[in-house]
A and B are shown apart, each in its own frame.
Chain A
């Protein structure tokens, strides 16, 4: 069975948030702050309001009041304070998009500007230790004595890696279409990774009871975390619609997305590793320095994968955060694991060279019996299997580790390896299954952001019901359906699938209907270390003339529990790895230190991989089943593909050129700068 919504997607009939046919719709266009810090002194909408077709100008001088405890990123027009350049300070509503856009340019905003600070550094005086890091983990952990471990090490490395601001850039811009009915109920078509949570946030922000709000997101054009939390477009559409008494649509421009839809914090990471004469780690320390806004503390869990990966008698991980005059960072595919594993797995490669060990062998020797930080047993862990399988498929045994010696004309050639990991968790969810015309209908407020949730849940239900998956229809993406958690944290299938299995089991007993709520079941989960693992192998070709880097082969081998749908799983792994390739070689948003905000604000400046960049990407998996996680025996697969890719490619660039570039992305300019 192919993707169940495939036909509507290839025929152009699938409706994304801005695409629902609504009569008499008006258009909103946002006006953004032109200073990085300060106050709005005055908003003059006169020239805008004079333009024919303009219905309203919203700003801190003219907007409905919102709930006092609203997320500051969503509390539009409630204050004169400007916390970052690009923050939404006003909006125009008009009959057409063309009028709204032109009128927005005519809104005059005067400011009192203060000095700003947007530069992250590892010695910033404002650095502090957050109490917890995302999602709710200790910010600091320590076991054993790192200094003692390093002192007795045969070989050690002390290296610092940097990753830039990264933007999710889903293809579908953040958009919302809001309308109020005569009873004061709000309907929002929103770009959302989870309509249950989005309904709660929108209701809370507007000071409404949740049952008065309905959020619909039948198709979502990618999110990668940026649509996991409610974004300002939903609130703006609702406010504007209330003001003008018509349905209002807003589609953020690609440029505006860079400012107000979240991004991955830049990181500075220091990793210290020591190894004894037998190749066993004596110490592992991983410290991450990162930023958040002055509005909200968002602390990316960057060094947490080092609590999971390798057996080290002395292990210390920590985070330091500084609050800058920037937008609030947020989730981007594999927050924490993605940047953290870039640093750890690059440092492990450096340690392998320092110790004269094969990098696969170094990882195998340090594979732990139990989770290093917590001491908990793993529900399953097959990192070594992934490394061995990948090494076999990649022809690793024939690799000469000497860097910088393989050449074909102008091209230097190298290979690299890195490990992948991602936690595998589940959240409580509800689901209902009923019979319909001899088929089955599964309903829950899940989201399909491109993962294939409909298809996977149909397969899961069909497995329990003992019918062909084509006979199961899945309805999702509507907050009126039974409550369900986000498509996020690689938890969708595990969370929703558990509820679907339980509902189907009840239907089998009842004959007509099954309802499930997995809250109690999940509360009773045993304490275990739950993670998926993988290994990625890269071959690169680096031009000694232009500095161009081509990834001529990228192989991922994953151990991610039972794979529910092989076609969809392969697509997810390939997609994650492709995004990881972008992180390694091209993705970067440069912060404007002079004026605040970002200098890169579109897809001509922020490069994501194009078709020709990702031609030789393969993903396979080991036969793994982990029955202690959930009834499917599955692990989440949406994020692990991006974890480790950048390190594998960076390690391959070192093998090709003999140089370590410790700051992503590895661009031709950085390669050319290596020349004597």
Chain B
């Protein structure tokens, strides 16, 4: 069946198997390998993309279910060759090693920076909290990094959040 998505600002119409996930559509059909498959079960966050501006696990979305959506992958974060501030900060802070979770961390961070409201570690839940290292760590805990780059990931995001 045919679906149409805006992927990184470009309309893409694809004839898809209804069983295909958004992640496999991006990786296997559209040639966008940035979103990574780490677990295919929404447990690791490596496939995180922005769907209509919100961060989401592309492995948990059937492609047909996001027909008509705007999808931004890590390839779409850099505008006209200019790196997104998060991408530069990740490089400066050495916020990755193997790099496999990195696209998901970046998309997740980009989505997270726009999310209002408290988290589980927020003291006063009636005001939007400052993005302290503790808040960032909490809000980024859906993105696993087996290389253990967390300390650097938090400092990289913290620099952009300031």
Contact = CB atoms under 8 A, between A and B. Distances in A.
Interface string B109-129: 000000000000100000000
Interface string B11-38: 0000001011000100110011111111
Contacts of A46: none
Interface in A1-22: 2-3, 5-7, 9-16, 19, 21
Contacts of A567: 94
Given A10-B91, A571-B152, A612-B141, A171 B24 contact: no
A577 interface: yes
A172 interface: yes
Interface residues of B, number: 61
B53 interface: no
Contacts of A96: 17, 20, 28
Contact of B17 (A98, A451, A604): A98
Interface in A556-592: 567-568, 570-572, 574-579
Contacts of A172: 36, 38, 98, 100
Given A11-B87, A172-B100, A575-B97, A614 B38 contact: no
Interface residues of A, number: 60
B146 A608 contact: yes
B58 interface: no
Interface string B71-88: 001110110000100010
A458 B54 CA distance: 40
Given A12-B32, A603-B41, A450 B138 contact: no
A578 B148 CA distance: 6
Nearest to B32: A12
A172 B97 CA distance: 12
Contacts of B43: 254, 602-604
Contacts of A239: none
Query: Which residue, B90, B94, B96, has most C-beta atoms of chain A within 10 A?
Result: B94
Is chain A's binding surface mostly helix, strand, loop or mixed? loop
B73 A12 contact: yes
Contacts of B145: 171, 611
A96 B17 CA distance: 9
Interface string A163-193: 0000001111100000000000000000000
A251 interface: yes
Query: Which residue, B32, B90, B150, has most C-beta atoms of chain A within 10 A?
Result: B150
B123 to A, nearest CB: 15
Contact of A12 (B24, B33, B37): B33
A67 interface: no
Interface in A21-55: 21
Contacts of B100: 16, 170-172, 221-222
A97 B29 CA distance: 11
B32 A610 contact: no
A14 B99 contact: yes
The 8 closest A-B pairs by CB, nearest first: A12-B34, A450-B98, A221-B100, A578-B148, A9-B99, A575-B148, A450-B97, A12-B74
Given A11-B75, A615-B154, 7 more contacts: A15-B33, A171-B36, A219-B99, A577-B148, A602-B41, A611-B145, A615-B151
